[in-house]
Amino acid sequence: MFKPSFPKILIAALGLGASQAYAAPLINLLIDDFSTFQEEIVKKKSSVSGPVTCTSFSPSSSSSSCNITHTPGPGIQASGGGILGGYRDLYVSTGSLSGLGTRGTSATSTGSVLEISNDTGVAGTVIVVWDGAHAVTADPSNPANIATAGLGGIDFTLSPGSYGVLLEVFSIDLNVTAALTLWDTAGQAATASHTFSSVSSYVFPFAGPDSFLADNPLLNLDQIGAVRLTLTGPAGWDGQIDLVGVTTIPEPATLSLLGLGLLGVGAAARRQKI
């Protein structure tokens, strides 16, 4: 019933070329490729009524107010390859689950992607922290719970010149917001954020509009001590992040411009049909 038109084929061909050009050489410094598996953290309400505050848990699978599956605490740390500093902390919070039964939020590293799922009506927050061996066990939206100098001062401005931090997206719901915060070892912090209006990768730029240095010009990019990724979104949001890394080229911007151009071609073709 659907006949592929010429623009469709063109998009497929160019898309293939773009994804090949887009591979490994762009990454100057890997923050996480999610190749290290991390058990799923699930936060959902059990039998109690009212808002759930998942602040403390026993090592068992449940407490009086929340069910936690496969995790000893509200935050959990995994260690292994493909992770900047060797350790990744994963934290999930759901806010109020009033009236939502046993629904909740889950996050895991599958061994290839960071996978996040929210049940219907739930708008959980998932936070990933790279701060070295320090285990984040309390809400990392509070920097006091992060070792902000834990990475020891990593140079994010590597030769031949890094542009920003790439968030390679495999799938993401619209209106999900990703906020990336960098700390330097002197304690300066800067945040860049992006709200997705399409399923495309994004580079948080070091300099220029909406950049880390625009947020805080005092941030020392060659002495990074910790990295935090905060993902929030509308009720029921889901997402899969493939990779986080320092990149040399604002490639996704180029790609999306190309994509917009091709969408324009497609739209023109559709208009002609009518």
The least CB distance from residue 169 to Ca ion, in Å, is 11
**Which residue number, 131 or 184, has a Cβ lying nearer to Ca ion?**
131
Q: Is the dihedral of CA 227, 110, 45, 75 positive or negative?
A: negative
119 interacts with Ca ion by CB under 5 A = no
Contact window for Ca ion (CB under 5 A) among 59-67, 193-201, 235-243, 247-255? 235-243
Q: Which is nearer to Ca ion, 155 or 242 (CB)?
A: 242
Partners of 126 in the beta sheet? 92, 231
CB nearer Ca ion, residue 132 or residue 164? 132
Q: What totals of helices (H) and strands (E) does the chain contain, helices first?
A: 3, 14
Helix (H) or strand (E) holding 138: none
CB of 158 to Ca ion, least distance (A): 21
Minimum gap (Å) between residue 52 Cβ and Ca ion: 25
- Min dist CB 122 to Ca ion, Å, is 25
131 lines the binding site for Ca ion (CB under 5 A): yes
Check if the beta carbon of residue 182 is closer than 8 Å to that of residue 84: no
Q: Least distance to Ca ion from the beta carbon of 187, Å?
A: 17
Is residue 32 near Ca ion by the rule CB under 5 A?
no
Handedness of CA 117, 119, 120, 122 (dihedral sign): negative
Between residue 64 and residue 103, which ones bind Ca ion under the rule CB under 5 A? 87, 89
Q: Of residues 78, 200, 242, 263, which one binds Ca ion by CB under 5 A?
A: 242
Nearest Cα residue to 34 out of 91, 93, 81, 85: 81
Residue of 33, 40, 115, 184 that binds Ca ion (CB under 5 A): 33
Residue closest to 107 by CA, chosen among 245, 198, 196, 230 = 230
The Cα–Cα gap between 203 and 209 comes to 12
Output the DSSP codes for 37-77: -EEEEEEEE-S--S--------SSSB-SSEEEES-SSSEEE
Return the number of the residue (65 or 145) whose C-beta is nearest Ca ion: 145
Nearer to Ca ion, 89 or 251 (CB): 89
User: Residue 151 Cβ, how far from Ca ion at the closest point, in Å?
Assistant: 9
Instruction: Report if residue 112 touches Ca ion, rule: CB under 5 A.
Output: yes
183 binds Ca ion (CB under 5 A): no
- The residue from 22, 34, 204, 206 that contacts Ca ion (CB under 5 A) is 34
Bond from prior residue into 205 cis (ω within 30 degrees of 0) = no
User: What's the gap between Cα 29 and its chain centre?
Assistant: 16
Nearer to Ca ion, 18 or 30 (CB): 30
List phi, psi (to 5°) of 69: -105, 130
User: By CB under 5 A, is residue 22 in contact with Ca ion?
Assistant: no
181 vs 8, 84, 176, 258, CA distance in Å? Answer: 38, 15, 16, 29
Nearest approach in angstroms of CB 79 to Ca ion is: 9
Give the interface segment with Ca ion, choosing from 3-11, 110-118, 190-198, 250-258 (CB under 5 A): 110-118
Where on the chain is the footprint of Ca ion (CB under 5 A)? 33-34, 87, 89, 112, 131, 134, 242-243
